[in-house]
Chain A
């Protein structure tokens, strides 16, 4: 009985996610159109439709530990094409948040997270990215100091790397954006 289920305190993982994000994965009928159009599938451990399936059957652990949620490039092809109007890419973002919070991040995601943090850190400080600081920060976080290092002089000569960054004028506005988006670090 659906009426009973509604009253019961135990919500399924999919129901919980639907309540919190407004994205109802129960609508997914496993057609695989998201997987078929996804450019990142070769890097993933589960396909996007399999992630939907994991949530449907309530396997929170596998979903939050998957590498897939981190390899999603948020290109939104899946969300655009889904015949059931499931916002798959947006849902991946919600899973990433929960994966971080539950400390279940897939080891393969380390560098991706290092990059995202370095990128956002720069934005938070100056309102725009300063390439050299970002690269330095990323390399420290990722513990990967020497890859691509020979590119630096070439980029420098071509003017792609500026020594000093120039912050945006209204840094308060940027701070407010970070505040409003729950101050996630």
Chain B
């Protein structure tokens, strides 16, 4: 005879405001099989869990229903509490009366009635629950880190220093990411290269790290502890083992007018190139789209000149397979394209700022290259059109960000700080110049951040104007920036017109191109803007909803360097925790085949997304084959139920979600 306990949670006001919790508990007490029913303000708290444990012991409960939040939130909490009181955790179920009820309804009477229904349904299910035991699976103690920017480097180093092997994959020819492009970093103005490049070298030479640059993740299968990853090594056209990195090839390459990606188009590179002098590895690749040899078969100078014969035009993409136990995604960001807009997202660029037709309207990363000692101007701030130092520079914040009309409503978070830094660097280099900053708000929340912005204003004389720029147009050799100082009123409405020499747009931070495709390969979710979703915005910020896959850096949301590094170390700690044991426990929600009933059609094999269906041969005592039937590999099965729905002979059932349980739930609705 079932002895079920029902525990109704108020969730503070979250549930209690809309649902009459004492009434739900009172009604639940009358359900057949329920021997105990209470409500409490915070069931997940220590005293709340105590109520559950006490009732299990005293009332000898055979099942528990917690009517509270989503199982995503606290199922594990209450199952743990049940286990501590000696009840098999899989005899505990959540009735979701928060997300599915109180949060989405307003009428108290109706919401309460629905909550009662949800509890009744769960009571019916729990009566038919059976004790289940976790499945143990082995763990491959190697991690894959996708992306070799500062977040990826940090995660890889932390895992490697923890004594575990790491495979680091970077799609560009060198690791370093955007941080390698930066001039100096806020709020200390230390040189970006000086703090980054030693880390790059450390990552490349670490005995526990295998580095694959110019490589991309092709496909991922498996599950936590046991992922199989296929990596595409793009053809470099240079044998990286032979190449000494002498650089002769790039010197002699006749194609010298290719806009450099590293210099954001402000400098030029050759067809055979390393992205920058401090690249790691310092070995070139051939950009086949621009190389004369690949375009019309002539040239071949680099091959002739190479002293070690490393240039190989016949190289093709190759694939390698790696087995890993955990994956850290650290693919970083790119900037919003104010020139062309974001066509994939149906967003136009900024027509009122000239759609990029003015050479002297540049974005933040381009300014970084102008200010960087390794940049195309050697660190001198010269405007792109005529190479003269600009006398007046206008910085415009929130371009693309906080702009519903352009489809990106979020704040990109780093711009307030880097614009203050830009204004400072500019004043340090062009003493007689004036820096104007158009802003809407100054968001400088961070250690020593606000002081930094004040320094730009008070010590370096940056002129901050509160207002969004309406238009930029060309008059003579100048760019006229039209704005309004909203802190002034009166006649003219605070209208401001500045004849600028250079305009820098602080464009929005966006996730990298192709992030959706990668997320789909990894079966992780992303938001409407393409940022990867964390498992919980507060309490699980580095995990994804797919076990064993973690996030680091700006792929998850706009972030500055300290935050990206912090999250990377957090992800690394999670990975090391995962690798601390030899086995993992997995939820035993897996499918089972009733082999005496299975007709061997193997439709289940076709629909299983996890390749968990195996074929088993049944033989009689004489060894004659009598049937081929399906069998579920419990290590691979994720409990999705696709096979159950497909099975023609009704021979497959899902532990924890059997047909009987589900039908009894439906039958429980009144």
Kindly list chain B residues whose C-beta atoms are within 8 Å of the C-beta of A47.
484, 489, 493-494
Determine whether A22 belongs to the interface, using a CB cutoff of 8 Å to chain B.
no
Does A32 contact B483, Cβ atoms closer than 8 Å? yes
> Interface of B with A (CB < 8 Å)?
106, 352, 398, 402-406, 440, 466-471, 482-486, 489, 491-496
Does A41 contact B495, Cβ atoms closer than 8 Å? yes
Top 4 nearest A-B pairs by Cβ distance? A37-B470, A36-B470, A47-B493, A31-B468
Determine whether A106 belongs to the interface, using a CB cutoff of 8 Å to chain B.
no
Contacts known (A83-B403, A83-B404); A36 close to B492, Cβ less than 8 A: no
Determine whether A35 belongs to the interface, using a CB cutoff of 8 Å to chain B.
yes
A29-63 contacts to B, CB under 8 A, are: 29-38, 41-42, 44, 46-47, 49-50
Does A33 contact B493, Cβ atoms closer than 8 Å? no
Measured CA separation A34–B495 after assembly (Å): 11
Does A35 contact B494, Cβ atoms closer than 8 Å? yes
Does A32 contact B468, Cβ atoms closer than 8 Å? yes
Closest to B487 in A: A32
Closest Cβ–Cβ distance, residue B338 to chain A (whole Å): 13
Measured CA separation A49–B485 after assembly (Å): 11
Contact of A36 among B106, B468, B491 (CB under 8 A): B468
Contacts known (A31-B440, A31-B467, A31-B468); A36 close to B405, Cβ less than 8 A: no
Contacts known (A36-B483, A83-B402, A83-B404); A41 close to B467, Cβ less than 8 A: no
Does B495 contact A81, Cβ atoms closer than 8 Å? no
Kindly list chain A residues whose C-beta atoms are within 8 Å of the C-beta of B352.
37, 81
Kindly list chain A residues whose C-beta atoms are within 8 Å of the C-beta of B493.
35, 38, 41-42, 44, 47, 50
Closest to A83 in B: B403
Closest Cβ–Cβ distance, residue A56 to chain B (whole Å): 13
Contacts known (A37-B471, A47-B493); A32 close to B466, Cβ less than 8 A: yes
Measured CA separation A34–B352 after assembly (Å): 12
Does B404 contact A84, Cβ atoms closer than 8 Å? yes
Measured CA separation A76–B278 after assembly (Å): 51
Q: Show 12 residue pairs from A and B whose CB-CB distance is below 8 angstroms, ordered by the A residue.
A: A31-B467, A32-B468, A33-B469, A36-B470, A36-B496, A37-B471, A49-B484, A50-B489, A81-B352, A83-B398, A84-B405, A85-B405
Kindly list chain B residues whose C-beta atoms are within 8 Å of the C-beta of A41.
484, 492-493, 495
Does A82 contact B491, Cβ atoms closer than 8 Å? no
Determine whether A3 belongs to the interface, using a CB cutoff of 8 Å to chain B.
yes
Does B486 contact A31, Cβ atoms closer than 8 Å? yes
Sample of 16 more A-B contacts, CB < 8 Å, known A32-B485, A36-B482 = A3-B106, A30-B486, A32-B468, A32-B486, A35-B494, A36-B469, A37-B470, A38-B493, A41-B484, A41-B495, A42-B491, A42-B492, A47-B489, A49-B484, A50-B489, A83-B402
Does A32 contact B467, Cβ atoms closer than 8 Å? yes
Kindly list chain A residues whose C-beta atoms are within 8 Å of the C-beta of B468.
31-33, 36, 83
A1-43 interface mask toward B, CB cutoff 8 Å, 1 = contact, 0 = none?
A: 0010000000000000000000000010111111111100110
Which of the listed residues B467, B468, B484, B493 has the most CB atoms from chain A within 10 Å of its own CB?
Answer: B493
Measured CA separation A31–B470 after assembly (Å): 10
Does B440 contact A36, Cβ atoms closer than 8 Å? no
Closest to A34 in B: B470
Does B486 contact A35, Cβ atoms closer than 8 Å? yes
Kindly list chain A residues whose C-beta atoms are within 8 Å of the C-beta of B491.
42
Closest Cβ–Cβ distance, residue A44 to chain B (whole Å): 7
Measured CA separation A84–B409 after assembly (Å): 9
Contact of B484 among A27, A36, A77, A85 (CB under 8 A): A36
Closest Cβ–Cβ distance, residue A185 to chain B (whole Å): 32
Closest Cβ–Cβ distance, residue A124 to chain B (whole Å): 35
Kindly list chain B residues whose C-beta atoms are within 8 Å of the C-beta of A31.
398, 440, 467-468, 486
Contact of A35 among B398, B404, B405, B484 (CB under 8 A): B484
Does B484 contact A32, Cβ atoms closer than 8 Å? yes
Kindly list chain A residues whose C-beta atoms are within 8 Å of the C-beta of B492.
41-42
Measured CA separation A34–B483 after assembly (Å): 9
Closest to B486 in A: A32
Closest Cβ–Cβ distance, residue A72 to chain B (whole Å): 13
